[in-house]
Amino acid sequence: MPSFNFILTTIIMCGLVTFISRVAPFVLLKRFQLPAKVVDLLSFVPIVIMSALWFESLFHQNLGHLPSLDYPNLLASLPTVISAILTKSLVIIVIVGIASLALIQLLALN
């Protein structure tokens, strides 16, 4: 069984690493100016993250089989994507996505 000191040291070091990894970019970017091409490339990061989360929720991985579609999430994605195209507002997109998935799950229970 690990000692209390080992566990405490591990928790403190994990907190320190997390803190440094979140603060260091702000400190470095205050002193240095990024090239315009790098800033343009970084503007795609939120889109890529959201797309990865979206695609991950659309498929279920079954070992030894091809991924299968999650039909409720696919159906909820349709109004969400339409609201994204029309409004480009993250708040509205999230509200439409949550409401449409809740409605689909409510209808599936009946």
Closest CA to 100 of 59, 58, 72, 69: 72
DSSP string, 76-104: HHHHHHHHHHHH--HHHHHHHHHHHHHHH
Instruction: Say if residue 104 is exposed, middle or buried (CB neighbours under 10 Å; 0-12, 13-18, 19+).
Output: middle
- For the cut 70, the answer to whether the pLDDT of residue 1 exceeds it is no
Mean pLDDT of 70-89: 92
Kindly report whether the global pTM for this prediction surpasses the value 0.85. Answer: no
What amino acid is encoded at 61 in this protein? Answer: Q
Alpha-carbon distance of 72 to 66, in angstroms, equals 18
Q: What percent of the chain has pLDDT over 70?
A: 98
- For the cut 90, the answer to whether the pLDDT of residue 32 exceeds it is no
